Amino acid sequence: MNHLSLIIKREYINKVRNKSFIIMTFLSPVLMVGIFSLVAYLSQLNNDSIRTISVLDESGLFVDQFQNKEHVKYNILTNVELSEAKKISEEAEYYGLLYIPKVESLDELSKSVTFYSEDSASLQVMESVEDAIEGKANALKLKDAGIDAERIKELRIRINAKQETFQGKETSKIGSILKLGFGGAAGYLLFMFIIIYGNMIMRSVIEEKTSRIIEVIISSVKPIKLLLGKIIGTSLAGITQFLAWVILLGIFSFVLTSIFNVDPTTVQSPQQEMLNQSVEGGTQEIVRNLIIEINNLPIANLVIMFLFFFIGGYLLYASLYASIGAAVDSETDTQQFMLPILMPLILSIYVGFFTVIENPHGTVSQVFSYIPFTSPVVMLMRIPFGVPIWQQILSLVILFATFIGTVWFAAKIYRVGILMYGKKASYKEIFKWLKY
Amino acid sequence: MEKLLVANNVSKSFGDYKALNDVSIEVPKGSIFGLLGPNGAGKTTFIRIINQITMPDSGSVFLDGQPLQPNDVQHIGYLPEERGLYKSMKVGEQALYLAQLKGLSKQQAKERLKYWFDRLEIGGWWDKKIQELSKGMAQKIQFVVTVLHQPKLLIFDEPFSGFDPINANLIKDEILKLRDDGATVIFSTHRMESVEEMCDHIALIHKSNKILDGKLIDIKRAYKSNTFEVGLIASEATMVDAAIKERFDVSPATFKTINDELKYRIKLPENTSANDLVSYLTSKGQLNHFVEVIPSANDIFIETIQNN
């Protein structure tokens, strides 16, 4: 067996057999599913509580607007003074008291309606109360002006534009969300992968330094082989862990939903809400659009480029992590070198989630999808929106060229750094190593 | 004598610091070669160059007559001063891994490990993790791993550190046996008594330069100064004492004796032989101690360093 595969095998087996690795592999999905279910359960619990709101309507116009709903009960007070009403509401521990004074004209209402409560009331409650009054007040005003509210409703036209590309492909709003989902997931996955397993590589380099085995090893193999073997072995362990997580997450969430009857999907993410809002019409329409959009996605392009950018981006950062590990004596010394690595990573996530969403092909998005330290994340998020192949290839070429550069750089630091003990590494010192 | 390792004019700088300056060394086949020098002299850099861990700026190294090749690491066994093993790995797995990195097949490695583990009576450690072993125990494993692939060149940097006297002796005997079996040993240490005991050849590196090398016996011959330690029982002690001090370059002797006698360390001038001294002394009294002072490796080490 040649050296590289020996090293990869050792790194892989050593990682996978490590106790904390095994514990993390099993515990993380449990924690994730657990927290998710807890949130779902708590928000259900939250919705279950019934709030009572007392209403003192001196104008007498809005009483019929306040019908009891599932989670809100209205208690209509009549023939009491405001001060009395407050006292009643407080003693009965009502959620709040809505006071509508007697007014000359409806216009005055906008300023004079008051809501009293123990603490400031929740936005949701305020909105529903305001909506109720507004609806009625508007209807009354229209009536005063001699306009029939029902008639207006009838005359209203809703536009639901059909979307089609110039090439005649049907698209829809759901498509943008889907693309964001794909791109975001890919970018975020890479980001997480780099941080988790980059750190793991760094620790494993430090371990070899602190255990002093490094000199024994590199008297048998070239440092660059050790570096590559370490990166590849750790990555394989990472992929194993990721796969385990996916499978375990599936199993756990299935078990949890069936045992505790908690449905994690009841927790609505903002994206899902957007999705619901963006599509008029029934679920059938959604499904139809979804299928169309998935067919429209450049799936083959996406998968292939995902692999390339993922590998390129990961290797780029992994080699930097390894050189940090080589430069320091212990994990506590790594802080000062971590920042330059984390900054572009975090930047790429920000650019991805703000700029690319706004305008996938704008100047900023384009520029960041060429800069090698941000391109893996940003380009992965852009590709679902359709990026010309030449741009993708150009970006990849820049990425891999930089990768070769960083590996050279990392190997230099690594070769010198692993044999340096007790010397506190600084940027200046490391710069000097490059010339050794 | 055939040379196993030849280094010609090797230089190496780290930034502004010159770690090795034009060092040339020849290690005869089948010898135990002591690489000596104070801390920071450049010994470790030189050893790393032989192991191709560091590349020299200039100069060349030949192993067995051929320029050093990347594959030559298979013929070299290196026990660095900064040594260690993977703490959380099991002894057996680790030894197999390191042996395979040196080019042994798994089967070969297993057989030889069994031989060595039996020989050092550490067979029961196979499934233990390194972190469960004491430092000395781990050192034994490390020694086995270094010699397992039967290299023709063995390099030991402070091999006895961390061993108790019994185990240090055991390792010493193993090293001597390896030499007898045909291996060549380069031996870097500060312990001069082991240099004295084991080395046939030495080289002394000081401040990045080689300042002395050769056969240990030759060096000692060159460094001996016609000096003798004598013990003499004389009836007229005071008179004899005065006469000897008058006639020779005398300093206090260091040997111990049970007799009440006159003791001197006498340095003879170039033209006087030991026989002249003996006949002079026997004429004065009963000579019961007469030894030529041969400089120890320690003396040579200190003297050479101080003169440079």
CATH code, B236: 3.30.70
pTM confidence score = 0.75
Q: How many domains does chain A have?
A: 2
pLDDT at B259 over 80: no
A213 Cβ under 8 Å from any chain B Cβ:
yes
Mean pLDDT of A23-38: 85
**Residue B203 structural domain:** 3-221
- CA B183 to CA B79: how far, in whole Å? 15
User: What does the mean pLDDT of chain A come to?
Assistant: 81
Q: Could you write out the three-class secondary structure of chain B?
A: CCEEEEEEEEEEEECCEEEEEEEEEEEECCCEEEEECCCCCCHHHHHHHHCCCCCCCEEEEEECCEECCHHHHHHEEEECCCCCCCCCCEHHHHHHHHHHHCCCCHHHHHHHHHHHHHHCCCHHHCCCEHHHCCHHHHHHHHHHHHHCCCCCEEEEECCCCCCCHHHHHHHHHHHHHHHHCCCEEEEECCCHHHHHHHCCEEEEEECCEEEEEEEHHHHHHHHCCCEEEEEEECCCHHHHHHHHHHHCEEECCCCCCCCCCEEEEEECCCCCCHHHHHHHHHHHCEEEEEEECCCCHHHHHHHHHHHC
- CA A68 to CA A128: how far, in whole Å? 12
B242 and B158 housed in the same domain: no
The residue out of B221, B242, B264 marking a domain boundary is: B221
pLDDT at A386 over 50: yes
pLDDT at A274 over 60: no
B85 Cβ under 8 Å from any chain A Cβ:
yes
A414 and A340 housed in the same domain: yes
Tokens encoding A380: 């992965």
Distances (CA, A) of B62 to A368, A377, B285: 52, 50, 59
Contact B102 A220 (CB under 8 A): yes
Residue B306 belongs to a domain: no
Residue B303 belongs to a domain: no
Q: Is the ipTM of this complex over 0.90?
A: no
The residue assigned the tokens 């990195």 is B101
Contact B142 A216 (CB under 8 A): yes
- CA B148 to CA B140: how far, in whole Å? 12
Which domain CATH number covers A118? 3.40.190.10
The alpha carbon of residue A421 is apart from the nearest alpha carbon of chain B, in Å, by 9
A239 and A194 housed in the same domain: yes
B82 Cβ under 8 Å from any chain A Cβ:
yes
Q: How many Cβ atoms are within 10 Å of A94's Cβ, its own excluded?
A: 19
pLDDT class for A124, splitting at 50, 70, 90? confident
- Distance in Å from the first CA to the final CA of chain B: 30
Mean pLDDT of B77-82: 89
- Furthest C-alpha separation in chain B: 78
Find, in chain B, the residue whose alpha carbon is nearest to that of A218.
Answer: B53
Taking Cα atoms as reference points, which of A360, A142, A344, A3 lies closest to residue B97?
Answer: A3
A179 and A263 housed in the same domain: yes
A228 and A308 housed in the same domain: yes
**Residue A261 structural domain:** 173-433
The pLDDT, as a whole number, for residue B115 is 92
DSSP string over A146-195:
T--HHHHHHH-------EE-TT--EE-HHHHHHHHHHHHHHHHHHHHHHH
A59 and A131 housed in the same domain: yes
B108 and B198 housed in the same domain: yes
Tokens encoding A42: 């708590």
pLDDT class for A237, splitting at 50, 70, 90? very high
B256 and B109 housed in the same domain: no
Identify the three-state secondary structure at position A379: helix
The pLDDT, as a whole number, for residue A423 is 66
pLDDT digits (tens, 9 = 90+) for A129-152: 888 888 888 888 888 888 877 788
The residue out of B193, B221, B249 marking a domain boundary is: B221
- CA B153 to CA A328: how far, in whole Å? 32
- CA B305 to CA B206: how far, in whole Å? 7
B135 and B256 housed in the same domain: no
The pLDDT, as a whole number, for residue A80 is 81
Mean pLDDT of A263-289: 55
The alpha carbon of residue B163 is apart from the nearest alpha carbon of chain A, in Å, by 17
- CA B180 to CA A312: how far, in whole Å? 53
Residue B304 belongs to a domain: no
Q: How many Cβ atoms are within 10 Å of B13's Cβ, its own excluded?
A: 17
A95 and A225 housed in the same domain: no
pLDDT digits (tens, 9 = 90+) for B130-154: 888 888 888 899 999 999 999 999 9
A331 and A402 housed in the same domain: yes
Of B83, B89, B100, the CB nearest to A216: B83
Residue A125 belongs to a domain: yes
B85 and B217 housed in the same domain: yes
A4 Cβ under 8 Å from any chain B Cβ:
no
- CA B131 to CA B128: how far, in whole Å? 8
Q: How many Cβ atoms are within 10 Å of A418's Cβ, its own excluded?
A: 25
Residue A309 belongs to a domain: yes
Taking Cα atoms as reference points, which of A252, A250, A251, A240 lies closest to residue A196?
Answer: A240
Residues 217-256 of A with CB under 8 A from B: 217-222
The alpha carbon of residue A315 is apart from the nearest alpha carbon of chain B, in Å, by 24
B102 Cβ under 8 Å from any chain A Cβ:
yes
Mean pLDDT of A57-77: 79
Residue A182 belongs to a domain: yes
Tokens encoding A259: 């045992």
The answer to whether the beta carbons of residues A234 and A11 sit under 8 Å apart is yes
B213 and B264 housed in the same domain: no
Residue B305 belongs to a domain: no
Residues 32-71 of B with CB under 8 A from A: 48, 51-53, 70
A22 Cβ under 8 Å from any chain B Cβ:
no
The pLDDT, as a whole number, for residue A267 is 47
- CA B36 to CA B212: how far, in whole Å? 10
pLDDT class for A323, splitting at 50, 70, 90? confident
A179 and A302 housed in the same domain: yes
Identify the three-state secondary structure at position A423: coil
Looking at chain B, the whole-number percentage of residues with pLDDT higher than 70 is: 100
Residue A33 belongs to a domain: no
pLDDT at B24 over 70: yes
- Distance in Å from the first CA to the final CA of chain A: 32
Looking at chain B, the whole-number percentage of residues with pLDDT higher than 90 is: 39
B210 and B186 housed in the same domain: yes
Of A1, A7, A432, the CB nearest to B15: A432
Residue A232 belongs to a domain: yes
A10 Cβ under 8 Å from any chain B Cβ:
yes
B206 and B265 housed in the same domain: no
B172 and B272 housed in the same domain: no
pLDDT class for B63, splitting at 50, 70, 90? very high
B269 and B207 housed in the same domain: no
Residue A28 belongs to a domain: no
B120 and B241 housed in the same domain: no
The pLDDT, as a whole number, for residue A270 is 46
Mutation target to probe the B interface, by most B beta carbons within 10 A, among A216, A432, A433 is A216
Sheet holding A96-100, edge to edge: A72-77, A51-57, A96-100, A114-117
Which domain CATH number covers B127? 3.40.50.300
A23 Cβ under 8 Å from any chain B Cβ:
no
The alpha carbon of residue A347 is apart from the nearest alpha carbon of chain B, in Å, by 36
Q: How many domains does chain B have?
A: 2
Contact B82 A215 (CB under 8 A): yes
CB within 8 Å of B306: residues ≥ 6 apart: none
The residue out of B192, B221, B250 marking a domain boundary is: B221
**B145 vs A contacts (CB less than 8 Å):** 216
Of A14, A213, A421, the CB nearest to B85: A213
The residue assigned the tokens 């209205």 is A74
pLDDT at A279 over 50: no
A113 and A258 housed in the same domain: no
A171 Cβ under 8 Å from any chain B Cβ:
no
Residue B299 belongs to a domain: no
Contact B48 A419 (CB under 8 A): yes
Residue A418 belongs to a domain: yes
A149 and A237 housed in the same domain: no
B104 and B188 housed in the same domain: yes
> What angle do the packed helices B91-101 and B135-147 form, to 10 degrees?
30
pLDDT at A13 over 90: yes
The pLDDT, as a whole number, for residue A260 is 63
